[in-house]
Amino acid sequence: MRNWALPLQKIPPMMRLVLASLMLSLSIPTIAQKTELSEVVVTASMLPQQEKETGRNIVSIKGSSLQNLPISSIDELLKYLPGIETQQRGPAGTQSNIIIRGGTFQQVLVIIDGIRINDPLTGHFNGYIPLHPSDINRIEIIKGAASAIYGSDAIGGVVNIITNGLQQKNNHKLSVGSKWGSYNSRSNNIWWGVQKQKWKLSLSSQQNKADGEALRGTTGYFNNTFYAANFNYNFASDWKLHILHANDSRDFNAQNFYTTFKSDTASEVVKSSWTQTSLQKQFAHTTIKFDAAYKNLSDRFRFSPAGSFNENKTSLFVAQGTVQFSRNPNHQIVTGAQWIHKKIRSNDRGNHALAHGAAFVIATHKLPKNIFINESLRIDWDQSYGWVIIPQANASWVKGILTTRASIGKGVRDADFTERYNNYNKTLVTSGSIGNPYLQTEKSWSYELGADYRMGAHFKWGATVFFRDQNNLIDWTPTPFPMMPRQSNLVITGNYSLASNIASVQTKGIETDLTYNKKWGEDLELNISTGLVWLASTSPNKTPSFYISSHARFLWNEQIVCRARQLQLSVNSVYKIRNAQTASAINAALSPNYFLVNTKCAYLLKKRSSNVFVEITNVTNNTYSDLLGAIMPSRWIAAGFQLHL
């Protein structure tokens, strides 16, 4: 295995100090803990289980903690969760690629309350999650393959967002926040909720906007806004209804988001509407649930002010039904079926539609001697790739404070509409990325072994070794004109990248995560979440693919929230080592490594439910990019308040 050794001499002194301080702060208080094992419940297999029973490496964060952190959007939060690489093209939710365990951003599935929201146009939009923190119960990150449970795209992992349900108590709440800062930035959010004995309704909105830094011939402006409504109702007959609706609008500078051309001064407007509904009935030993969701999205992209718009309109419809049997608490089964329909209307990619169906069964078993076995089997039919069988098995053994676990699973992913048809409907394309309608489906097998050490409800440390063997991986590769499968709208002198199947890619790695949460009375509290990942991707393919060559080879990220009485300090950090790249045409470069620190200092008001704060993004004022050409902002200072009434 190559490139696994961490070159310590390359780590900035500040990062070494932070890491050393973190390890020291954990070593003393955890030794004294004598409490019981944590009983964290997750839904990694559609069935509620204690985390230690799943056989998986799962990171979980409570929704109530999100507003304590120096972030402006959910995708920014993911950047600092252990083992997650978020490649941002812009701040405050402008656009991000979510990567888990290497691979491509297309290989991560995002779901809300069990329903997929991955966009059929491109995975660049999967980080658009229009939810207010007050509507989020928790976010679970399932690392590794989960296609047998959730279907296509869940190769690298799953971002599972669970919203707040009905707690059956009468109350009214209002949350209002605002902040102002560098580059004429403004951020405003409001959440209002009313809850009665049988129903609950919340309405929310958030806007992040700024003029942005000066760029080549433009500025890095953005104006990102969403509105959401969340409704829950419990019927007398034990039926439960849930409806979630959101409208999301993002207007932003997109200079060099997708190319490294000097003529690229792009802008983009993405608007989407998302509605999902769930109806659930609880019987004595059986639960039935019906889900349906519809999403439409409009994307208007212009390469330069003098150019014409690429206009893409997509729709996604998802319907699924599940039946859960739990007569014996030691053996539970969920079986169900799913139907998906995708459609695009585009002056750039043409008009296309795609249908997909699946049936699945998931079983969990609690065996003697604290052995837990989870099996999943899914049968997919897709209009593009036909029939495929997707199995998965996970196991864990709990011995006191130690849990050992193992997982093996198959993954599949079909190309999205951009990978198949980008620039395909244009009369003339002189350079750029070209879609490929002849792409085959990605298939992979993922294997992992790991162990978790828990000391009470406050401390968890885990380590995992993983390996993914991929075939027909889809990525963009430089391709000369004579080798293009379709040449009718291309020129012989053009500089093109073609969406291609890479015959074989192997990704192997080691990850370690650490979580520590502790309160000392009412005046002192410390919450830490951190992780390290070493990984390497290798392929016999001599032509480098774009996204595989861009992912980090070493990644360290962390979140620290420390409160002493009314003062609270939050720190987010990420350090990564990756392949250096240059683009001389635009005088851009990806450094071989970078270290990023954000902080937020708050004074807590009114029983610590409200606060005023100062927030600094990019404390050390680094010049950096996650993706070549897409320049991230320098030091950004903001101040504001968050009131909970």
Over residues 76-133, the pLDDT tens digits come to 999 999 999 999 999 998 999 999 999 889 999 999 998 999 999 999 999 999 999 9
Cβ 437 vs Cβ 418: under 8 Å: no
The pLDDT of residue 45? 66
The pLDDT of residue 547? 82
Please say whether the dihedral angle defined by the alpha carbons of residues 69, 71, 72 and 78, taken in this order, is positive or negative.
negative
Cβ 529 vs Cβ 512: under 8 Å: no
Q: Is the pLDDT of residue 38 over 60?
A: no
* Nearest in space to 93 (alpha carbons), one of 11, 13, 209: 209
Sorted by sequence, the CB contacts under 8 Å of residue 84 that are 6+ apart come out as 59, 78, 98, 99, 100, 141, 557
Question: What is the DSSP annotation of 508-521?
Answer: EEEEEEEEEEEEET
For the beta carbon of residue 272, count every other beta carbon within 10 angstroms: 23
Tokens 């950090």 appear where? 573
Distance, in Å, from the CA atom of 591 to the CA atom of 577, rounded to the nearest integer, reads 9
Angle (nearest 5°) at CA 185 between 181 and 188: 100
Distance, in Å, from the CA atom of 131 to the CA atom of 571, rounded to the nearest integer, reads 23
Domain covering 8-237+245-273+412-644 in this structure, CATH number: 2.40.170
CA 33 to mean position of chain CA atoms: 33
Tokens 């392929």 appear where? 539
The pLDDT of residue 235? 92
Sorted by sequence, the CB contacts under 8 Å of residue 530 that are 6+ apart come out as 22, 82, 513, 514, 556, 557, 558, 559
Tokens 């000066």 appear where? 214
* Nearest in space to 347 (alpha carbons), one of 314, 315, 313, 310: 310
Determine the average pLDDT of the residues in 489-513.
93
pLDDT 10s digits, 591-609: 999 999 999 999 999 777 8
The pTM (predicted TM-score) of the whole model is 0.91
Rg (CA), the chain: 24
pLDDT 10s digits, 387-432: 999 999 999 999 999 999 999 999 999 999 999 999 999 999 999 9
β pairing state of 588-590 and 581-583? antiparallel
Cβ 580 vs Cβ 590: under 8 Å: yes
Cα→Cα distances 529→56, 79, 85, 617, Å: 18, 12, 15, 19
Query: 3-state class of 146 per DSSP?
Result: coil
The pLDDT of residue 213? 92
Please give, one letter per residue, the 3-state secondary structure of 169-224: CCEEEEEEEEEEEHHHEEEEEEEEEEECCCEEEEEEEEEEEECCCEECCEECCEEE
Measured in degrees and rounded to the nearest 5, phi and psi for residue 303 equal -65, -35
Arithmetic mean of pLDDT over the chain: 90
Distance, in Å, from the CA atom of 202 to the CA atom of 524, rounded to the nearest integer, reads 32
> What residue ranges do the domains of the chain occupy?
8-237+245-273+412-644
The percentage of the chain sitting over the pLDDT mark of 90, rounded to a whole number, equals 78
* Nearest in space to 559 (alpha carbons), one of 601, 533, 530: 530
Per-residue DSSP letter, 486: -
